[in-house]
Each structure stands twice: as C-alpha cells, then as structure tokens.
Amino acid sequence: MKELDGKAAVVTGGGRGIGRAHCLQLAGAGAAVVVNDIDLAEAESCAAEIRGRGGRAVADGSDIGTVAGAAQAVATCRSGFGQIDVMVANAGIVRDRTFLKMSEDDVRAVMDVHFFGTFFCLQQAALAMRDQGSGGALITTVSAAHFGNFGQANYAAAKGAIASLTYTLALELARFGIRVNGISPLATTRMSDTYKGADGKEVELPYFDPELNGPMLIYLASDRGNYISGQVFGTG
C-alpha cells in the first residue's frame, strides 16, 4: 500500500516546473491528482503521463485567480475522485521590473495569481474539507518573500502575503481538522530564468532539480504530517 492511497489532491500550476513534479510525486505516492493549469495542454500532458504510469489524474484549466475558477478546480476533484484531501497552491507567474518602472498591470497580474489564487483555492478547498472533517493545504512561498530579490517587488510582496496567510489559516482552520503549511522551494524552472543579481544583471544559477522538493510535500500531505500546521519549510 502506498502512503497516499485513498487521498485526492489538487495542484495548481501543475503543468510545468515544480507543480508538475508535485503532481507526479503525489500520484507516485498513491494520490489521485487534479492537474490544474491555465495552459490546459500542459495540464493534460501531465495528467496523461500520470495515467501512463498507472496513476489516476485529470486535467483542469480553471483560472484559479477567481473564486469561480478556484471553486471549479475543487469541484473537479470532488466529482472525479469523491473528495479533496490536499490542496497544493502552487500556481505562479512573474512580471519582473525594477520598482520605479513597475506598472499597475505588473503588480495586479502577479497578485491575482499568487495571492488571490492561493486565497480563493484554500477557501474553496477548506469549505469542502470542513464538511469532511479533515484535510491539508500546502502553500508555495519563496525565499524572495523573506530576503528580497532584485526586480521582484511584486513577486516578493505576493509571496510574503501568502506566507503570512499560512500562519493565520492554520489557527482558524485547526478546529475543523484542517492543516495549513507552506514550503519555500529551491528549484530551477522557467520562472527562475528571470532572476537577477543586486546589480540588476542576469545571473547563472546552479541547477536545482524540482523533484528534490517532493519528500517534504509527501510528508506533509500524508498522515505522518497530521501533527504539523502553521509552518513554512525551506525545501530543495
């Protein structure tokens, strides 16, 4: 028997990068997975790979930056697998510019996906988990939320907001048997190609495999992590 047999999970931003690695690892541990991505073709590709390995997965292209989209992602999980046990709020984008050149659209686009997407997905998942009497949510934050990163004032602020959300929701949702934790992953992905040094110039980063974040994800999603809530862990 696998560790996550009988559990169902939603992973937002699951078509590429860290999200895709999360989906494959959750499925490999036995969970049924909803692969959510605004790029439905990428979501379907990941879901097909999971099914090809003998797992259970469906694709979902909902825009999780809206209440309706977040509700649809949760509904897809419940209708397809009968329940939702794990919500992994991972979707993200970058719109990098220096602070004095950053437009309103640059700020709102990033906040819509990172903050509002996380907020609405956790809210919709928690409503379902409350009725079940259990569940867990995992939020993806990042080191830029704590230490900053050149040209990423919008991104760092959004990630800092959802790190704070982790602590508050852990307090509020404990009475319903719902755990809320965060991970601050280290991984080389398409998004990390935009990182710049303190001088504003692009820097070449070493390669960090997205799959290295998986062990903590699986631990927190499993029954072994039932006693942990309100924490943010560095992974990778």
Q: In angstroms, what CA-CA distances link 5 with 33, 54, 56, 132, 222?
A: 11, 13, 11, 17, 10
**Taking Cα atoms as reference points, which of 92, 210, 101, 213 lies closest to residue 150?**
101
CA gap 37, 206 in Å, rounded: 27
Beta bridge partners of 88: 11, 138
- In the three-class reduction of DSSP (H, G, I as helix; E, B as strand; rest coil), residue 122 is classed as helix
Residue owning tokens 């419940």: 78
**Taking Cα atoms as reference points, which of 223, 226, 134, 231 lies closest to residue 175?**
134
Which residues are identified as catalytic? 155
Residue owning tokens 């697998």: 81
Q: In angstroms, what CA-CA distances link 108 with 61, 102, 112, 117?
A: 21, 10, 6, 12
Residue owning tokens 């029954």: 223
Residue 93 has a CB neighbour count (10 Å cut-off) of: 17
